[in-house]
Structure 1
Amino acid sequence: MQERIKEVAARVKELRGILEIGTDEMAKYLNISKDRYERYENGEEDIPASELYEISKKLGVEMSILLTGETPRMHYFTVTRKGKGVSVERRKQYKYQNLAFNFINKKAEPFIVTVEPKPKGTPVHTNSHPGQEFNYVLDGSLRFIIRDQEFVLNEGDSIYFDSSCDHAMVALNEKQARFLAIIM
């Protein structure tokens, strides 16, 4: 896992350098500290999927290039077989699987996200990123938090929201939950 973090970080750093974008500019674009951004590029801290998506937009490349080092090749369609999406281990509480990593010029990033249950009393960390997001619960139940609202989403429930709002999902009933996330 640590090696993969370093590989992604090296690709980000190389592309940023080629495009002559400073670390200050990237940190400001992501609305994070320069120190935190530099930890990303040095492979000292994992880059959250939402921020990696924003970095790919800023660098003008597909997110899959940063993840795999390979250029997407499909123009008209791409098929991703069950369990064969590119795994993105971005945050401890979530496991992402990119379902359209090989398609060029995507207008959205579709993921299957797996959320592991947390021990009771574990603090919930929210996330935010520019754009909009659609989530559809495939298995299990999630406590969905957005701004000051909380509610439960069960299998078959969905939500569409402004992803610039702080949000988080927590698996309920001490069971893993999975959902389809489409980030636009």
Structure 2
Amino acid sequence: MENNVILQISSRIKEKRKEKKITLQSLAEEAGVTKGLISQIENNRTVPSLTVLLSIIKALHVDLNEFFENLGDRVGADPILISNSEYETIEKEHTVGSYYNRILSFKLNGKLIDIIIYRQEKNAKRSFVSSNAHEFNYMISGSMQYTIEDKMYILHEGDSFYYDARKPHLTTCLSETDYTMLVIYFFDEE
């Protein structure tokens, strides 16, 4: 197993952009790409080509060595204990009331895998989203509804769900309080 450097690169782009107080729009303009593409890259919705990645790094005004410093293997043959204080808060969609905490990301058998704890508030307003992945979900607490195309699937505490997240999907909290689930993304590498 080796670490999912691609997910780390997406996080590093967002981290450097915010650190330098650069807006998505200005970064996109300077890199010669769209604001939407930058957002998709930062939120692990797409993988940039090498040319686009180098343009973004240049537009961030960051030295290549500095940008790639410390990107490397976290996952190896040895067991790994990760305390909840080490979870990385990430933003996948700009939705108030949705919270993502990355536990671990790595590559296994040619698949990029990202393990997340996801929490959605009762009144979160979400829209349909999709990602370049398949998802396995395990409901830790609460109840929720997936809407995928014209079908609805209801999950309660202890239920599991696997689906093709490339299809537009919508999540809705059905609990009186927030729901929490473990999400494992299996990214396609096409």
Please indicate the TM-score interval, normalised by the length of the shorter structure: 0.5 to 0.7
1:99 to 94, 103, 123: 103
TM-score, length-scaled by structure 1: 0.62
Correspondence for 2:131: 129
Q: What SS does structure 2 have at the residue aligned with 1:174?
A: coil
The 8 Å contact of residues 47 and 90 in structure 1, kept in 2 or not, is answered as no
Question: How many Å apart are 1:148 and its aligned residue?
Answer: 1.1
Q: Structure 2, unaligned stretches of length 5 or more? A: 1-11, 23-30, 54-68
Correspondence for 1:110: 115
Counterparts of 2:43 and 2:18, CA distance in 1: 16
Correspondence for 1:90: 92
Correspondence for 1:16: none
Correspondence for 1:143: 145
Name the CA shift for 1:87/1:35 in 2 (closer, same or farther; >3 Å). Answer: closer
Question: How many Å apart are 1:95 and its aligned residue?
Answer: 1.0
Counterparts of 1:83 and 1:178, CA distance in 2: 17
Output the amino acid matched with 2:15: E
Name the CA shift for 1:88/1:82 in 2 (closer, same or farther; >3 Å). Answer: same
Larger radius of gyration: 2
- 4+ aligned runs moved over 6 Å, structure 1: none
Question: How many Å apart are 1:166 and its aligned residue?
Answer: 0.7
Question: How many Å apart are 1:160 and its aligned residue?
Answer: 0.5
**Relative contact order (alpha carbons < 8 A, sep ≥ 6): 1 or 2 greater?**
2
Bigger strand share: 2
